[in-house]
Amino acid sequence: MSVQPPPTVSHPTLPAGVFCAQDYETLARDALPAPTLAYIAGGAGRDITLRANRQAFAQWSIWPRLLRQLDAGHTRIKLGETRLEHPLLLAPVAYQALVHPRGEIDTARAAEATESCIVASTLSNHRLEDIAAAAGPARWFQLYFQPKREATLALLRRAEQAGYGALVVTLDTPIQPASLRALRAGFRLPPDCVAANLVGADAAAPVATASGSRIFQGLMHGAPDWASLEWLCAQTQLPVWVKGVLHPDDAAQLAQRGVAGLVVSNHGGRSLDGAPASLHALPAIRACVGSTLGVLFDGGIRSGEDVFKAIALGADAVLIGRLQVYALAVAGALGVAHMLKLLREELEACMALAGCATLADIGLASLLAAPVAATPHSNDFSGEARDADLD
């Protein structure tokens, strides 16, 4: 089944029916073809980890506090040399032209308008240079290792020349398991949906011999290892963050090797199905690396309350993935900017009621480990499972 192109209608005004950031997820049902929606909303395999990401937030309550002095409150933060007005970063999301004709360019414009940091994907539909030109000064580049080192180095040099302030190296998907939901919906990547940054590069994957495993001797052949990461870090003066960290032992090794920071992430449930929820892995990783190393969180954010909980459990800031794409699909740059504004205000309201004037005031003492009744957070648009609680 071929995928129908996304709507080309522009939205000079905000769409009706958006009262919180997550409303963009609901409106995306009508903005996108069903197969494309299944691809974006789904995870790997049977969506076990996808569901776990959202369910993890319901296991924490937030303590309200009284009579706190909050008139000097703010959400400012510094991540390395990057100063931000708030802890909401736009996650690297591939192929955004699937949902909007201007794709990553509009996302970058929204980041600039809201003083947000965008993490541009290697697999973007627009060139990293064009994304950088549309974004504000807070822009990072997400890097996938390429089959040949010279191709990886070329991407790195382009990112440096375009003024990106940090590298985010994704290491948790040396292979990409299939999404059963997307396959059953008939999703296929359109032939004109290409990774603009890789045009002309030798990105051919090795093929296994007749006697070898398609996985081990094929897809995993040439996958990056510790030596690959050391080589990359030696090639640049940019701070290097590693995305896809879930195990404390990996976090400890990365900290010892001098990376700038970690991104606790299970790739939005798109890597190993059955991996722990990012929120469950976060406290142990923070405990392992201490308070000085930067730690970002990625996985299931849908509200300011979710952001608060992630920070309380050890994150310095969070990455916004699917919400970003839903808002882009519904209303382009304006939608993404509006979603970020709503999410920031939800966080500020939560901080105010929890008695936290700054992000530094948010900690484990702000939470109560007690399951609460969860409001459905559905992005399963497969019909019979529409009310499922998914990331």
Please list the active-site residues.
267
Q: Which two tokens stand for residue 106?
A: 């509009």
Q: Which two tokens stand for residue 35?
A: 């197969």
- CA atoms of 5 and 156, how far apart (whole Å): 31
DSSP 22: T
Question: In angstroms, rounded to a whole number, what is the distance separating the alpha carbons of residues 293 and 316?
Answer: 10
- Judged on CB neighbours under 10 Å (0-12, 13-18, 19+), 340 is buried
Helix (H) or strand (E) holding 27: helix 23-31
Six token digits for residue 344: 């920031």
Nearest to 320 by CA among 307, 308, 311: 307
Strands 82-84 and 88-90: unpaired
90 burial type by CB count under 10 A (0-12 exposed, 13-18 middle, 19+ buried): buried
* Tokens found for residue 375: 């409001």
- With both helix axes pointing from N to C terminus, report the angle between 304-312 and 48-57 in degrees, rounded to the nearest 10: 90
Please, which residues have CB within 8 angstroms of residue 112's CB and are 6 or more apart in sequence? Answer: 134, 135, 136
Within 8 A by CB and 6+ apart from 58, the residues are 371, 372, 373, 374
Cβ–Cβ contacts within 10 Å for residue 263, how many? 30
Distance CA(91)–CA(313), nearest Å, equals: 20
Are 43 and 50 in contact, with CB atoms under 8 Å apart?
Answer: yes
Q: What's the burial of 215, exposed, middle or buried (CB within 10 Å: 0-12/13-18/19+)?
A: exposed
